[in-house]
Every structure is written in C-alpha cells, then in structure tokens.
Structure 1
Amino acid sequence: MKKKILIVSYYWPPAGGPGVQRWLKFTKYLPEYGFEPFVYIPENPSYPILDDSLEKEISSKVKILKNRIWEPYQIAEKISKKNKNYKAGQFETEKKESLISQLSVFIRGNFFIPDARKYWIQPSINFLEKFLNNHEIDYLVTTGPPHSMHMIGLGLKERFPLLKWIADFRDPWTQISYYSQLKLTSWADKKHKFLEKKVLQKADLILSTSYTDKVNFEKLGAKKVSCITNGFDSESQINLPSSSLFILSYVGMLETLRNPTNLWEVLQDLLLNNENFKKDFQLRFVGKIADSILEKIKHSSLKDHTTILGYVSHEEAIQEMNQSNLLLITNFPEEKSKGIIPGKLFEYLASNKTILSLGYPDSDVKKILQETQAGEHFTFDDYDKLKSFILDEYLKWKNNLPTNKVYSTQKFHRKELTKKLVECLEGL
C-alpha cells in the first residue's frame, strides 16, 4: 500500500528560482519508492520570479491542494520597490540607505514574525485539519523559508500528535546570512529564536541542505537532523558544441555582498597582459546582477568582454552552463556563509565543467569540490593562485587539451537524494 505524504510549500511552479526545485524534484521521484505525494500551496501567491517552463516538470502523480493567501507585499512594493527584493531574501548593504528602505526592513523583521506570509498560517491549519481528518496521511513536510510554513506544521502537529512531521530548512532561520540586517528589537529577536527552537524540538525530523547547518540545528536543540543537499536532475546532463570563445559564466543572482572584486582585478590583469586571452575571453552573467557590480564592470576593461543575459528560464540557464568553460560560484567571505551551498553548484557539477569558487576558506562548497575534484575554491584575498588557475584553464582550452572530466557526482542526482529521503522517512 502506498504511503501518503503531504508537502506544505509556498514556492511551486510557476515560481522560478532555486526555492522551487527541491520538492518539485522530490515529488517527481517519490512515487517510484511507493509514495503518493500531495502538495499544499497558495492559490494566489506573490512570487518574486516566474518561470513557466517549470510547470511541465510537475509529476502527473502529484495531487495539488490550494488555498488563498493574503500578503502585504502589494502595499509594501508601492512604498518602496526594494521590498520586492526583500521578498526574495535580498538585503543589500548600501552606504546611504534611504529612510524608507530602513523602515521597510524594520517593519519586515519586527512586525511580520516569522515573515510576511504569517497571515496564511491559521487559515492553512484550519484547511489542512479538515483534509487530514478525511485522508490518512503518513508524513507531513513543511519546507521553508518562508518559515511560516513551519508554523503551519507546528499547529498541525499539536492537533495531530501522531503525525510524523518533517521540517525541511532550505535555508536557516535565525542563522541565515541576512538575519543581522533585519534591524530587530530585542523582543523580536527573542520571538524569532523562540519559534525557531519550538519547531526544531517539536518536529520528528529536521532536514538541512548543508553539513554545517546540520551541526548548527543540533546545537540549537533539534532532536533529529539529517542533511540532504540539493542536487541536479537528468536534464542538466546535456552535451552542447563548444564555443569559439573561452567563457567564464556566472549563473544566478549576484548581490553586492558576494561581489568577487579580486576576480575582476585578476581578469583585468590578464586582459592587459595577455593578447591571446584578450582576444578569446568572454564573461557572461545569466541572472540578476546587482547594479553596483554592473556599474563597476561598465567602467573597467571588462566592459567589452562582458555579456549580460539577465534572468532566463531554467532550461536556458542549463544550456548556458553547458556552453561555458569555467563556471563561477561566489559566497560571502564571512564565516556565516560556511554552510551556504548554492543550488546551482549541483547543476554546475552535472555539466562536467570546471568550477571556480570564491568564499570562506573552510566552507561546505570547498568540501564538495574536493570530494568531486570538480574545481578549485579560493578566498577573496587570493590573487596569484586565482590568476594562475584561470590562466592554466585557458591554456588547456587554447591548446585543445581535455578540460572536461566525468566527476563523481551521482550521489547528488535527484533520484539518489530522494532515495536518501525515503530512508530517513522510513526510519521515523
């Protein structure tokens, strides 16, 4: 007999971005392991990014439940356009932040606890209570952020104590990189931490997406934690003809706080001192890039070697990865980024292209790159090593030497990760 699993998620196609990928893929493969998935989502969400191409990836075996949501973002975005960025978890640090921006962040952190989807919590608990009374559900999954999803899980666990509840943290709550920028009062800080601890202690299983987050959740009092990283699916493993240029691509969103200034300096150095490199090199941005980064590039020698594609569909992003020679991934240089593993890393791995990573010295990304031998990790202070690495990769390409490898990445395939998830569920 099939086991039934109910997933509570804010993000679902046509939402774009990395937040939607995780459970879209789990629900694709769960039926192969004897599970019948139900997904509960908002009927009228306010998504920061749309990608209609993802809708065709929804498994026909998934049953969708919808309920209307009220969100304050329509009002907030009229006050300040930056509230659309805050909705997506983007908090830029500016030297002269406007009073309206400061006020928006203050309100977001102190009045909308845990987040602006809080008004969906009680209606969802009431809606799903009726559903659970009429359906024999074996497992309840809540995936956040937004962490209001976990508050829905907490409310349902209190009403159905025998229901196995899994709280999936795609990102941490109070330990996320921008938490310190929310301008929290001491009361609000305590409230966030109180609710977080309650979820960590009441859930039957906590899922983390990084090794460091797993350790941190255990320190915060979670009784059982498993790490299941994000991954890649079969459509990421495609072969495309090579370009006539040596291409370094960054795919995804790049904020000011993750701006790899040393890399831009290295590239300008190579353009200035290597005529062949200057003739062959192209830098490509696929996704939303902070205006401050683009402005500096426009006023540098990189300008004539840079292509900016903006946000593209997931399919197009994968094609761009597969046509590149080097794939760039960056993280915050501070220790708080140690456990951040951007979802695109795994699709980078699937492309079998060389990965260039910058960030905190002892990071989970570095651990994965060392394990798979898929690239090199550098700090924001490295210059000579970074320059040497790029030049070596360029010369391999220029001399038609093999640069692509078949990395040991199969453990990060979505089907393998779903198998690991099933083992965790059956162990409860």
Structure 2
Amino acid sequence: MTQKILVITYNMVPYVKTWGAAQRIYFLAEYLVKSDIDVTVLHSKKKNYGNFNKATHFHQVALPLKWKFLQQLLFGNIEEDSAKKISVQDKKNKQNVVVNIIKLFLGHFDQLIFNDPSPGMGIVGTIWVHSIKDFINKHLKDGTFKKVIISGPPFALFSCTKYIKKNFPVVKVIIDYRDPWNLWNNRKGFSFFKETEALNYADVVVVTNENLKYAIASKFGISLNKFNVVFNGFSEESWKKTPPLKKRRDNQKIKIAYIGSINFNSFRDPTLFFKAFESFPHKDDVLLSFIGLQNVAELVSLKNKFKDRIVLKGRVSQEESFSEMLDNDILLIFHTANDDSGKYLISAKLYDYIKSGKVVWSIGNRDSLNNQLVKEQKIGISSENTVEEILKGFEMIYESWKNNNLSDINSLSIQTDFFSRETQNERYLKIIKQEI
C-alpha cells in the first residue's frame, strides 16, 4: 500500500514571493513522489506569484487565513521574505498612521511573544494554524495520514505537534527546522516554552546542520537520538536544465557576483563590502554583478556611483541564475547579522555555488557556518564583515587573478554529489520509512 504523508508548511509555490522560502519542502515533496509516496502539502494561500518554472507533482491544499481582514489591515499580502526582515521601503510606503501604530505595537508584541525570525510571522502563523485545524482533524481522524512533517519558520506551525499528538497519538510527527528559532538570539519566555513543548511532543526532529542539532539538544535537554541532519543542497535535476552560456561579459576583468535577493539593514547587508570596494585601488579591474534584485534603491544609487563597474539585474529563473554563476569568477555570500544565527545557518545558495565550481567568497562572522564550510571544503575565501578584512579579500583575489591562478583558490575536498538535494532527500526518505 502506498504510504501517505502530510506536509504542513506556510510557504509554497505559487503563493510565495521568493523561491528560497519554498525550495526545501518543494524538492523534498517532489523526491518523495518519485519514491512512490503519496504527498499532500498543506500551505497558505496568498498572492499568486507563479510557479518559478517548477512543475508540481504532489497534492496541494492551499488554505487562506480565516481572519483575512486582519491580514490585510495589518500586513497587506504578507509572506515570509528571504531576507527575514520587513524592508525599510515597505515601512515608508505605509500611509495610515493608525494602522502604523497598531503594526508597531503588534510587531513588538510578536517578537516578544513568538520571537519568529520574520517580524509579524508569529501572529500570522498562529492565525493560520487555527485556519487549518478543520483539515487536520478531518484527515487524521479518518486515518488518511499516519505521518506528518511540519516545517518552520514560521515556528508557530510547530504548535500543531502538540495538538496532533494529544488528539491523534498514533500519528508520527516530524518537525523540520529550516532555520533556528530561539537560538538565533537566545530568547527565553513564551516562545522558548513553546519550542520546548514542540520538541518534546515530536517523534523526530530534522535540522539542516550538525551545529543546530547539538545546540538544540543541549539547550532544551532533548535526546540526540531524536535528531536527524538533512542538509539543504543543490538540485542536480535543475542544474541539468541550465541554459547554454552566452558570451562572457568582459573577460579582461575579475568578475564578482552576488546571486539572489539582498537587503540593506538586514542579515545580508553589503554596506561594508561597498565601502571596501570604494577604497580598493584596483577596482577598475573588477566588474561587480548583483543578480536577482527586487527594487533595492540603495543599489541603484551605488550604480550611479560606480558606473560601469557594477551590473544590476532583476529577478531571474533558477536556471538563469545558474548561468550567471557560471559566467563569473567569484561568487559572493553574505551573513552579516550581529547575533548567533550564523552559527546555525548555511545559506542554501552556497550549495549551488559549490555545484558551479566557482570560487566562493563568504563574508560574515568568523564562526559562521558559511565561513567554516568555505574553509573546510577549500572552495574559496572567507572574510569577517569589516572594511579591513574585506579589503584583504580583494587584494588576495587580485593577486591570484594577476598571476593567472584565480581558479586554484577552489580545490573542493569532497565530491559535490554529497551536497545535492537528491542525496540529502534520500536521507530524508529513510527517516520517513523507518519505524519512528
């Protein structure tokens, strides 16, 4: 008999603005379907942004918030943003003073009570959980699903764990951490209690790296036996669809690119990078590219400053982004937050960078997992997020380029297949199939 799995996640195509918020569960669901598992993904229904050129072969149930008037009044068409911050521009666009005051109050309330990495999503996630309980009750009561995966953020979804285990104790529940919850700022209080509760009720906890596994187990007193690690990764299947390379732009320069959404005043803040670039004496030999932008005004002003030394490009398909990676020499990754989140996060983008075979330049705290992975796997260079350290990175890259050995900086120490979504989701499949 075909095994049936229910996956509960807030973000899924086509109701998600940024592909990164949906890709972990999308690729998992697709892999499980190919492995003869009947998968239903229960997700929120918001504004339709399209499928990002991705076909879906799993069942989808999209449910909106029951309290839609509250969503519209306070948040508009809210969705989890990949930058995990409400942008400065969004705040400027709010015109209703009364609504602004309410939003400000609830934003503080949300962070105080729910401590979700995305401001506002604790409240929205809690409301949405109440919106899906009828579906959960109906299909768990009739025995349709024996196993449920719950993926966060938003971490309010993890409250479903207690509800399911108390009302349907035979159903096995896996909670899936895409990001750290209370560990990112070591918050205690109600959210800490709710995370502890979810961890204790869950049958299995899946995390994206070993650091997060050991930190959660230690912080919350949970047995390591309950944990499994399934990394994010690159999609081998998607990479096979990469369009042919066009003629490279300006082969006479060092081509450095950042691929993906970026946001000043967030944990991907390139401010110090640009300050270092401005003082770099050989910047005429460098071409910077920022691909996948979403109306970032600060970068437009930088374009005016740096002229033809910088290329700006809007959102592209995933496959087009791969072509952009292959068309550059150095691929940038930022994690600039002044908190502990970098210790427990590896950017999903980094795995595609690894697949490209290009030199990776990771900028962030010394103990960030991005920086550690770059060093351990010998795929590039890492710099702390200071002007001085970034300048050293520019100088190192320039000297290697001048001596025609730039590509030698990347000497990957293991086979790239280990970092593929297919390899990692095979591990997930074993977790699901085993008796838990």
Q: TM-score range with shorter-chain normalisation?
A: 0.7 to 0.9
1:14-70 CA deviation, whole Å, 9 max, x = no partner?
Answer: 12331200111112222444422221223x3257xx3432442x22xx222343433
State whether residues 250 and 328 of structure 1, in contact with CA within 8 Å, keep that contact through their aligned partners in structure 2: yes
Asked if residue 4 in structure 1 is aligned to residue 12 in structure 2, the reply is no
Letter in 2 for 1:166: I
1-structure distance, mates of 2:83, 2:110 = 12
Runs of 4 or more consecutive aligned structure 1 residues displaced over 6 Å after TM superposition: 83-88, 96-99, 399-407
| Counterpart-to-counterpart distance in 1, 2:157 and 2:343 | 25
Tell me, in whole angstroms, the C-alpha distance in 2 between the residues paired with 1:87 and 1:416. 24
Partner of 2:149: helix, strand, or coil?
strand
CA distance in structure 1 between the aligned counterparts of 2:81 and 2:431, rounded to whole angstroms: 33
Please tell me whether the aligned partners of residues 208 and 228 of structure 1 are also in contact (alpha carbons under 8 angstroms).
yes
Whole-angstrom distance in 1 between the partners of 2:424 and 2:344 = 18
Cα distance in 2 for residues equivalent to 1:309 and 1:204? 45
Deviations 1:167-210 (A, max 9, x none): 11111222346x97xxxxxxxx6222221111111101111123
Look up the match of 1:184.
none
Matched, 1:259 2:269: yes
Partner of 1:233: 235
8 Å CA contact 1:169, 1:208 repeated in 2: yes
Corresponding residue SS for 2:180: coil
Moved more, 356-365 or 167-176: 167-176
Q: Measure the CA separation in 2 of the matches of 1:69 and 1:119.
A: 7
CA contact (8 A) 1:248 1:328 kept: yes
Does residue 120 (structure 1) correspond to residue 128 (structure 2)? The answer is: yes
**1:151-190 aligned within 5 A:** 151-176=159-184, 190=189
Aligned partners of 2:64, 2:295: CA distance in 1, in Å? Answer: 32
TM-score (norm 2): 0.80
* Equivalent of 2:74 in 46, 64, 76: 76
Aligned pairs (5 A) from 1:56-135: 56=55, 58-59=56-57, 62-70=58-66, 71=68, 72-77=70-75, 89-91=84-86, 100=101, 102-103=104-105, 105-109=107-111, 114-135=122-143
1: distance between equivalents of 2:408 and 2:108?
A: 52
* Cα separation, 2, equivalents of 1:125 and 1:19: 23
Change (3 A) 1:325 1:427: farther
Name which of 19, 22, 39 aligns with 2:21: 19
The answer to whether the Cα contact below 8 Å between 1:322 and 1:351 also exists between their aligned partners in 2 is: yes
Q: Once the 2 structures are TM-superposed, how far is the Cα of residue 308 of structure 1 from its aligned partner?
A: 1.7
**3-state SS, counterpart of residue 30 of structure 1:** helix
Q: Which residue is equivalent to 1:268?
A: 278
Please state if 1:344 is matched with 2:349.
Answer: yes
Partner in structure 2 of residue 186 of structure 1: none
**Equivalent AA in structure 1 for residue 374 of structure 2:** L
Distance 2:32 2:384 in 1: 39
Report the residue type matching 1:4 in the other structure: K
Corresponding residue for 2:193? Answer: 194
2:358 counterpart letter in structure 1: K
**Quick one: which amino acid aligns to residue 148 of structure 2?**
L
Q: Does the alignment pair 1:220 with 2:223?
A: no
- What whole-Å deviation, never above 9, does each CA across 1:106-142 have from its counterpart, x for those lacking one? 2543577833132222342221221123344232100
Identity value in percent: 21
Map of 1:395 onto structure 2: 402
Task: Identify the residue that residue 326 of structure 1 maps to in structure 2.
Answer: 330
Q: Show the counterpart of 1:38.
A: 40
Q: Report the CA distance shift for 1:163/1:393 in structure 2 as closer, same or farther (over 3 A).
A: farther
Name the CA distance, whole Å, in 1 between partners of 2:343 and 2:322: 26
SS at match of 1:350: helix
Show CA shifts across 1:327-376 (max 9, x none). 10011253512212111111111111111001111221123223432211
Instruction: Provide, for residues 199-223 of structure 1, a one-character-per-residue CA deviation record: whole Å limited to 9, x for no partner.
Output: 1111011111233222221122334
Q: How much does 1:285 deviate?
A: 3.7
Offset, 1:386 = 0.8
**Aligned with residue 310 of structure 1, among 307, 310, 314:** 314
CA contact (8 A) 1:260 1:358 kept: no
Distance 1:366 1:88 in 2: 19
Distance 1:227 1:87, change over 3 A: closer
Q: How far did 1:230 drift? A: 0.9
Q: Which amino acid aligns with 1:76?
A: L
Residue type of the alignment partner of 1:74 = Q
Is it true that 1:416 corresponds to 2:423 in the alignment? yes
Structure 1: how far apart are the matches of 2:235 and 2:7? 20
Asked whether 1:365 is paired with 2:370, we answer yes
Cα deviation for residue 417 of structure 1 reads 0.5
In the alignment, which residue of structure 1 is the partner of 2:117?
A: none
- In 2 relative to 1, CA 110–207 (structure 1 residues): closer, same or farther, beyond 3 Å? same
Query: Could you list the runs of 5+ residues in structure 1 that have no partner in the other structure?
Result: 181-188
